[in-house]
Structure 1
Amino acid sequence: MTLNKKQILTLVLIIGGVMSLVLLFYYVYFAIRSYVFPILTPFIFAIGIAYLVNPLVNLLIKKGMHRIVAIIIIYVSILAVLAFFIIWLIPRLISELNKLTILFPRYVAQIHDFYLNAEQNINNMSLPEGASEIIQNAFKQLNILPQLVEKFQTMLQNLIGGISNFVITFIKGIFNFVMALILSFYFLKDVEKFKAKLVQIVPPKYTKQIFHLFRDINDVLAAFIRGRLTVCLIIGLITFLGLTILGVDFALLFGVIAAVTELIPYFGPIIGSIPPIIVAALQSPWLALKTLVLFVVIQQAEGNIITPKIVGTNVGFHPALVIFVLLVGGQWKGVIGMLLAIPIAAIIKVVLKHIALLMTDRRQEER
């Protein structure tokens, strides 16, 4: 099939237009990422804080308290919790990290000794020639000492070299957090005014649909975000107490890691359990077994009791879809992407559901 000049010109214009749109999209994306997003960061944090705190404010208002007084009480409580973290938790975490840094070479040596003993025991066993060769090749692949030492040295170099960047980032983070607290105070104080303005902006024909849309989004996010944060705190506390009772080193550090990784469904609990089991194994094989049992019990309690009671099933994703969404989020923004993947997917699901209902209603009206 041959194309005439007009068709070729049309095709070239279409391709050129698509490429121009792609380039424009990337330009706008990087402009927003480089210039607009840093400015919007405090506002985004403020909206998040206001969203998380608003139910507590409403609870105090129902008990007869004035809105501004309720907001101040909640914020004083938040600052008290932050002061506890800064005064009690962070110094202990730093202490445990320093201890881990000191003991890391010893742990590497223990792993290396275990590797050598296991290799020697295998060599002393009477195995068929083919099996012995396979095992020897496997041990060569598992010789991780040089890689561990190199990674540890790189980690120390990056830590020393990144102190100035950390200080700058920390100062920016404090500034953004303070700005977010101030902004969120005004968001919470004037939340009813914002709702009234939204009602004025939205055409009366769509007011009901918009109200139901935001209500459903709120239900899903409340179930996932607020519920998930509560579950993370519970899991972190249980992990810390359990490891402390068992006598595993760095129990506080591993409790914090367990709380943070719990935010990631499916993969998170596994990631959070690996470091303490390894450290427990270096202390004692029997302690490693008890630590493994502890994490199995915690995850069974989390999956069958804690999460169903606190989070519920409002997100409503099939496990296979959750894993797919997590992989997409991880490919997009790494760990941060995995943390944001489920809430974003849940919002998209709710919006698509409402669009489908709106289209169905229109078809019925046309009939």
Structure 2
Amino acid sequence: MGLGEQARWWGLALLALALFLWLFSGAVTPFLAGMAIAYFLDPVADRLERRGFSRLAATAAVMGLVVLAAIMAILVLVPVLIDQFARVVRATPDYLVAIQQFLEGGMERYAPAAVTEGGLLATAFDNLETQVKNASGKIVESIYSGGVAVIDFLGLVIITPVVAFYMLLDWDRMIDEIDHWLPRRHAPMIRRIAGDIDGVLAGFVRGQLTVCIILGGFYAVALLALGLNFGILVGLFAGLISFIPFVGSLVGGALSIGIALFQFWGEPWWIVAVAAVFLVGQAVEGNYLTPRLVGGSVGLHPVWLMFALSAFGAAMGFVGLLIAVPTAAAIGVLARFALEQYRQGRLYQGGEALLPDDPDHERDHERDHERDRGRRPAE
């Protein structure tokens, strides 16, 4: 089988997989979530195996702790988050009125026509308030009457732990079996690429998820201690989106400071304290958590990550969000591999291609890296 024919077969397989995920995006969500949980927990189960546990005992112990933690989170956090979200929906029109009054007070001096009845500012806020009320009503209606959504949620809650348990139990066996499917001639190269992808995912997904959990807990507890309205909801939301560098602290800080301005107006020290929470969180994340838990650059640029989330989310909904990060990581690794092959080929070299183990190739490759870093190449 020639290289072109192999490429066609691999391309058809990837196309079939993408088509399957797109057609059955609503049904595969619990299975993808279970696979993600199993991948995340596999190192923990492997460590327990090295301590003398059987694979079944290690899997049962790990999943038992995860299910217990999830039940506690559902019983404790979910009612609080639902209550705070309902309060946000009810309070949003009042916040809009307060913002309108604040802006009108400042603009009456400079642009009085904009704040009169039918003026630009008044019309804009009337339209925004109407849209917010309509959206709030639709959200509440969908929460209470969305029977399909409830069924999907129950399916996710029930099926995902079962899938995660069996995937975690058979993870190593499954990897060995897939390794036997690889074309023998290209197996070492495929293992190398898969290892690079696993390294990126291990560094980003596992490490960054841990960072998000720590930051979300810190923000929620700190804002709750300061007495900020909706502090738990805002704090957990800021931690959840902290996998995009700086976005979590910026968005969470802006929301928290905005709420603090209305709640603590006339008490500026509380507003400063709210801002300090996010400054401390950003400092701890950048100087301690990310270097220790995520490590150095894993090849996922924030812009590429945001594009992947937007593109896959728009194309496949929630399933797209689940596979966006691992797919972006895999594409990044494949792109770097393709670039490496290009730099070893005749198109880049301008003559005879250099073999990967050629000393001249290694020296030229190192010189290129030094030149890219702005250093003088070593002779």
Q: Shorter-chain TM-score: what band?
A: 0.7 to 0.9
Whichever residue aligns with residue 283 of structure 1, its letter is: Q
Which residue in the other structure is 1:7 paired with?
none
| 8 Å Cα contact 1:326/1:342 also seen in 2 | no
| 8 Å Cα contact 2:312/2:324 also seen in 1 | no
150, 155, 169: which one pairs with 2:130? 150
CA distance in structure 2 between the aligned counterparts of 1:199 and 1:31, rounded to whole angstroms: 24
Which residue in the other structure is 1:352 paired with?
335
CA distance in structure 2 between the aligned counterparts of 1:199 and 1:159, rounded to whole angstroms: 47
Whichever residue aligns with residue 166 of structure 1, its letter is: G
CA distance in structure 2 between the aligned counterparts of 1:193 and 1:340, rounded to whole angstroms: 23
Whichever residue aligns with residue 277 of structure 1, its letter is: I
CA distance in structure 2 between the aligned counterparts of 1:187 and 1:73, rounded to whole angstroms: 14
Which residue in the other structure is 2:80 paired with?
92
Deviations along 1:233-261, one digit per CA (max 9) or x if unpaired, are 11111111221232211211112211222
Matched, 1:251 2:231: yes
Whichever residue aligns with residue 57 of structure 1, its letter is: A
| 8 Å Cα contact 2:203/2:295 also seen in 1 | yes
Whichever residue aligns with residue 223 of structure 2, its letter is: L
Task: Note closer, same or farther for the CA distance 1:75–1:236 as it changes in structure 2 (3 Å cut).
Answer: same
Task: Note closer, same or farther for the CA distance 1:288–1:167 as it changes in structure 2 (3 Å cut).
Answer: farther
Matched, 1:290 2:270: no
Say what the alpha-carbon RMSD is for the aligned residues: 3.4
Task: Note closer, same or farther for the CA distance 1:60–1:266 as it changes in structure 2 (3 Å cut).
Answer: same
Q: 334-343 or 169-178: which moved more?
A: 334-343
Q: Find the residue that maps to 1:316 and give its secondary structure.
A: coil
Unaligned runs of 5+ in 1: 1-26, 124-131
Which residue in the other structure is 1:308 paired with?
291
Which residue in the other structure is 2:179 paired with?
199
CA distance in structure 1 between the aligned counterparts of 2:130 and 2:28, rounded to whole angstroms: 40
TM-score for both structures, normalised by structure 2: 0.74
Whichever residue aligns with residue 261 of structure 1, its letter is: I
66, 72, 77: which one pairs with 2:60? 72
Task: Note closer, same or farther for the CA distance 1:332–1:186 as it changes in structure 2 (3 Å cut).
Answer: closer
Which residue in the other structure is 1:50 paired with?
38
CA distance in structure 2 between the aligned counterparts of 1:161 and 1:93, rounded to whole angstroms: 17
CA distance in structure 2 between the aligned counterparts of 1:163 and 1:181, rounded to whole angstroms: 24
1:292 shift after superposition: 2.2
1:52 shift after superposition: 0.8
Task: Note closer, same or farther for the CA distance 1:305–1:30 as it changes in structure 2 (3 Å cut).
Answer: closer
CA distance in structure 2 between the aligned counterparts of 1:220 and 1:226, rounded to whole angstroms: 10
Structure of larger gyration radius: 1
CA distance in structure 1 between the aligned counterparts of 2:93 and 2:296, rounded to whole angstroms: 45
Q: 240-249 or 96-105: which moved more?
A: 96-105
Structure that is richer in helix per residue: 1
Which residue in the other structure is 1:276 paired with?
256
Unaligned runs of 5+ in 2: 1-14, 346-352, 359-379
1:190 shift after superposition: 2.1
1:231 shift after superposition: 0.8
Q: Find the residue that maps to 1:74 and give its secondary structure.
A: helix
1:157 shift after superposition: 2.0
CA distance in structure 1 between the aligned counterparts of 2:73 and 2:144, rounded to whole angstroms: 23
Task: Note closer, same or farther for the CA distance 1:245–1:43 as it changes in structure 2 (3 Å cut).
Answer: closer
Which residue in the other structure is 2:104 paired with?
116
1:141 shift after superposition: 5.3
CA distance in structure 2 between the aligned counterparts of 1:146 and 1:42, rounded to whole angstroms: 42
Whichever residue aligns with residue 222 of structure 2, its letter is: G
Which residue in the other structure is 1:22 paired with?
none
Identical aligned residues as a percent: 24
1:164 shift after superposition: 5.5
Which residue in the other structure is 1:229 paired with?
209
| 8 Å Cα contact 1:231/1:307 also seen in 2 | yes
Q: 30-39 or 276-285: which moved more?
A: 30-39
Q: Find the residue that maps to 1:262 and give its secondary structure.
A: helix
Task: Note closer, same or farther for the CA distance 1:330–1:223 as it changes in structure 2 (3 Å cut).
Answer: same
| 8 Å Cα contact 1:46/1:180 also seen in 2 | yes
CA distance in structure 2 between the aligned counterparts of 1:86 and 1:325, rounded to whole angstroms: 29
Q: 237-246 or 324-333: which moved more?
A: 324-333
Q: Number of aligned pairs?
A: 328
Which residue in the other structure is 2:51 paired with?
63
Whichever residue aligns with residue 349 of structure 1, its letter is: G
Deviations along 1:19-66, one digit per CA (max 9) or x if unpaired, are xxxxxxxx9899646643334333322221210111111111111111
Q: Find the residue that maps to 2:239 and give its secondary structure.
A: helix
Task: Note closer, same or farther for the CA distance 1:104–1:78 as it changes in structure 2 (3 Å cut).
Answer: same
Q: 231-240 or 150-159: which moved more?
A: 150-159
CA distance in structure 1 between the aligned counterparts of 2:283 and 2:115, rounded to whole angstroms: 34
Matched, 1:364 2:355: yes
